[in-house]
Amino acid sequence: MSNDTETPDFETALKTLETLVERMERGELTLEQSLECFEQGIRLTRECQKALAEAEQRVEILMGRDADAEPEPFGEAGDGDAD
Protein backbone atom coordinates (compact mmCIF):
# COMPACT_ATOMS: atom_id res chain seq x y z
CA MET A 1 0.00 0.00 0.00
CA SER A 2 3.02 2.24 0.00
CA ASN A 3 3.95 2.39 -3.67
CA ASP A 4 1.17 1.90 -6.23
CA THR A 5 3.47 2.44 -9.22
CA GLU A 6 5.54 -0.71 -8.64
CA THR A 7 4.05 -4.07 -9.60
CA PRO A 8 4.25 -6.46 -6.63
CA ASP A 9 5.15 -10.11 -7.07
CA PHE A 10 2.29 -12.60 -7.01
CA GLU A 11 2.67 -13.65 -3.38
CA THR A 12 2.89 -10.06 -2.14
CA ALA A 13 -0.14 -9.04 -4.20
CA LEU A 14 -2.15 -11.99 -2.89
CA LYS A 15 -1.24 -11.22 0.73
CA THR A 16 -2.16 -7.56 0.23
CA LEU A 17 -5.50 -8.63 -1.26
CA GLU A 18 -6.20 -10.81 1.77
CA THR A 19 -5.41 -7.89 4.07
CA LEU A 20 -7.68 -5.55 2.10
CA VAL A 21 -10.56 -8.02 2.26
CA GLU A 22 -10.12 -8.45 6.01
CA ARG A 23 -10.14 -4.68 6.55
CA MET A 24 -13.25 -4.24 4.43
CA GLU A 25 -15.07 -7.15 6.09
CA ARG A 26 -14.57 -5.62 9.53
CA GLY A 27 -16.73 -2.70 8.39
CA GLU A 28 -14.65 -0.09 10.20
CA LEU A 29 -13.61 1.88 7.11
CA THR A 30 -15.21 5.05 5.85
CA LEU A 31 -16.85 5.00 2.46
CA GLU A 32 -13.83 6.73 0.92
CA GLN A 33 -11.40 4.27 2.53
CA SER A 34 -13.53 1.36 1.35
CA LEU A 35 -13.51 2.68 -2.21
CA GLU A 36 -9.73 3.12 -2.12
CA CYS A 37 -9.31 -0.44 -0.85
CA PHE A 38 -11.68 -1.72 -3.52
CA GLU A 39 -9.78 0.09 -6.29
CA GLN A 40 -6.47 -1.26 -5.03
CA GLY A 41 -7.99 -4.73 -4.79
CA ILE A 42 -9.16 -4.60 -8.40
CA ARG A 43 -5.67 -3.58 -9.56
CA LEU A 44 -4.07 -6.37 -7.54
CA THR A 45 -6.60 -8.93 -8.77
CA ARG A 46 -5.80 -8.05 -12.37
CA GLU A 47 -2.08 -8.34 -11.69
CA CYS A 48 -2.60 -11.75 -10.07
CA GLN A 49 -4.75 -12.96 -12.97
CA LYS A 50 -2.11 -11.80 -15.43
CA ALA A 51 0.68 -13.54 -13.49
CA LEU A 52 -1.32 -16.78 -13.32
CA ALA A 53 -2.12 -16.69 -17.04
CA GLU A 54 1.55 -16.11 -17.90
CA ALA A 55 2.63 -18.93 -15.60
CA GLU A 56 0.08 -21.27 -17.18
CA GLN A 57 1.34 -20.36 -20.63
CA ARG A 58 4.95 -21.01 -19.61
CA VAL A 59 4.01 -24.40 -18.16
CA GLU A 60 2.22 -25.38 -21.37
CA ILE A 61 5.27 -24.43 -23.42
CA LEU A 62 7.57 -26.35 -21.07
CA MET A 63 5.29 -29.38 -21.23
CA GLY A 64 5.86 -29.44 -24.98
CA ARG A 65 2.29 -29.08 -26.15
CA ASP A 66 3.62 -26.82 -28.86
CA ALA A 67 7.39 -26.94 -28.98
CA ASP A 68 7.58 -23.93 -31.31
CA ALA A 69 5.18 -21.80 -29.29
CA GLU A 70 6.27 -18.40 -28.05
CA PRO A 71 4.65 -16.61 -25.12
CA GLU A 72 2.11 -14.07 -26.28
CA PRO A 73 0.89 -11.06 -24.31
CA PHE A 74 -2.60 -11.38 -22.95
CA GLY A 75 -5.24 -8.65 -23.20
CA GLU A 76 -6.39 -6.76 -20.13
CA ALA A 77 -7.73 -9.01 -17.42
CA GLY A 78 -11.49 -8.92 -17.40
CA ASP A 79 -11.86 -8.55 -21.19
CA GLY A 80 -14.17 -11.50 -21.06
CA ASP A 81 -13.72 -15.22 -20.79
CA ALA A 82 -10.81 -16.22 -22.98
CA ASP A 83 -11.01 -20.02 -22.79
Exposed / middle / buried, residue 58 (Cβ in 10 Å: 0-12, 13-18, 19+): exposed
pLDDT more than 90, % of the chain: 55
- For each of the domains in the chain, give its residue range(s) and CATH number, in order of start: 10-62 (1.10.287.1040)
pLDDT band at 73 (very low <50, low <70, confident <90, very high): confident
pLDDT at 19 over 90: yes
pLDDT at 7 over 80: no
pLDDT at res. 69: 63
pLDDT at res. 47: 92
pLDDT more than 70, % of the chain: 75
Q: How far apart are CA 48 and CA 42, in angstroms?
A: 10
Average pLDDT, the chain: 81
